[in-house]
Structure 1
């Protein structure tokens, strides 16, 4: 049985304090200055926050939580939900494509036989996502490796997902996911071509994700990384305000397609990945003007297309 959706919030607390709370499924920290812990529910991402002090991202569920580690997979479960993460050294794997294949192979193998085997949401963070040209670009090679590693794991439908470059990080691919014992409802954006149907110009293997997934309890929408893309083409090259406005239009279109209440409010924690640090203030001002009630976390991250300056993902609770 699946209880209500995990509650995701940004909180200025210590990791140990957050992890000690009942029902804490996962705690995610950002940036190089974070403390470390061996708790499998803890994950630190190398993306540097523009907020100081930087909050933690906390996932809470109804019911007791158990956790452990199986090989490279760190996991926790409770209330019908499963958090799992894997962090692999790319240099030890022979490159980003083989590293992605191995990460997804391990995750797919781990999920076999789990009660919570329905993957609803995945996050991917990899170094230098735009490095390389043509089919040799690292993001395109990552997509090929991901598809090879996942095999038939998502034959019932792709999860919502984010893939962001981590500038100056430690050479590790980090992947984490949210799964459930029941499937969610995939949501596509009528303003955009579905990612798995992208034409060949975007690489030999199209990205494998849904634009959003409504969680099985029906009370929350997990929103994939969303940017200024219309159809399959990037819009407003070099124009940050226009890209932000287009991104917001895409987010609002997803809410409508999912049958969620219009608009974003205090029940809509969002993350904005900002390519150029000098743009952070303008992005923050945009949120304050257009999304004033939204809990927003701004991170220094590289979007998967070079011409895109910002990407937004997050949650909308009913």
Structure 2
């Protein structure tokens, strides 16, 4: 038999990206399905579970009852805990999550530093590349100047990571929640094969932001093309052009600019234009009063696309809406 390494024509089969869906289901039923890597419930109404694959996200959904988000892979799944990190693995993929209370660590910066140091130590036990990260932060815009919670989070995250992402940043989202428990929630998706980081030609790369955005620039790629090139994981995307926020105070203009940025990412990644019924998105809306209008515009611009409408604060206080999600090929 000819080995793949001896024949450049033979390429390894890369694992298919996890199937991501929103579904009305009982968490126990979803967790019992074959190939379930992770299940997410949203808001205070989501139940508790000791299963490491379950995470109750500290963000409220504008839909009631809220659907679950499911990640499912090809293959058997195992799961467990490593100190404060919960994890699951299957089909070549790894899910890992950590949830900490800021009151236990003395504030946002120290909590972020501890969380990312824990995740770094855990990932040191795995030979896998982090491709996508989600961060949900309490009162993300509280404080002024460098004391703002988001800027404190960026400082702490960088300190906890050290040079872990020296070869390139993953895609990421950072959104503020209002559940009052001062929780920092971080979870990630990793694979043994690297993805391809995608930047938006309409925007300055986040790690090159000028000093006005904090002592530590945000560390993330605008999107990540998955190893099998079958899906694009899209970072939190808002009405930012260059490095500046656009259309302050104008919800519709911000939403339209955001959609233009999403199309630019798809084009840069050589993905088909537009989104379809298999491309789940999340729209984070700062002001609850804006949710019906956001829903209306997205139904007009993205007909049939599954969009989870969530109450969440964008990392810049002048931004009213942000979108992230998936585009499957």
Q: TM-score, normalised by structure 1?
A: 0.99
SS across alignment from 2:194? coil
CA drift at 1:2? 4.0
CA displacement 1:248-296 (0-9 Å, x = unmatched) = 0000000000010111111210000000000000010011100012100
Aligned ranges 1:127-206 → 2 under 5 Å: 127-206=138-217
SS across alignment from 1:250? helix
- Maintained 8 Å contact 1:2/1:180: no
Partner of 2:91: 79
- Maintained 8 Å contact 1:2/1:81: no
Cα distance between partner residues in 2 of 1:169 and 1:236: 30
Match of 2:135 among 120, 124, 129: 124
2:276 matched to 1:301? Answer: no
Partner of 2:297: 286
- Maintained 8 Å contact 1:2/1:79: no
Partner of 1:212: 223
Q: Which consecutive residues of structure 2, in runs of 5 or more, have no partner in the other structure?
A: 1-12
CA displacement 1:164-202 (0-9 Å, x = unmatched) = 000133111000000000100000000000000000000
Cα distance between partner residues in 1 of 2:252 and 2:107: 36
Match of 1:18 among 30, 35, 39: 30
CA drift at 1:70? 0.6
Query: What do you get for the CA RMSD once the two structures are aligned?
Result: 0.8
2:100 matched to 1:100? Answer: no
- What is the number of equivalent residue pairs in this alignment? 317
Cα distance between partner residues in 1 of 2:221 and 2:46: 31
Runs of 4+ in 1 over 3 A off after TM superposition: none
Q: Which consecutive residues of structure 1, in runs of 5 or more, have no partner in the other structure?
A: none
CA displacement 1:39-82 (0-9 Å, x = unmatched) = 00000012110012210000000000000001000000001100
SS across alignment from 1:287? helix
CA drift at 1:113? 3.0
- Maintained 8 Å contact 1:2/1:181: no
Cα distance between partner residues in 2 of 1:299 and 1:94: 28
Q: TM-score, normalised by structure 2?
A: 0.95
Cα distance between partner residues in 1 of 2:117 and 2:219: 15
Cα distance between partner residues in 1 of 2:148 and 2:65: 34
Cα distance between partner residues in 1 of 2:125 and 2:178: 36
2:53 matched to 1:30? Answer: no
Cα distance between partner residues in 1 of 2:86 and 2:168: 24
Cα distance between partner residues in 2 of 1:87 and 1:272: 22
Partner of 2:9: none
Cα distance between partner residues in 2 of 1:169 and 1:154: 31
**Which of 1 and 2 has greater Rg?**
2
CA displacement 1:131-158 (0-9 Å, x = unmatched) = 0001110100100100010112111110
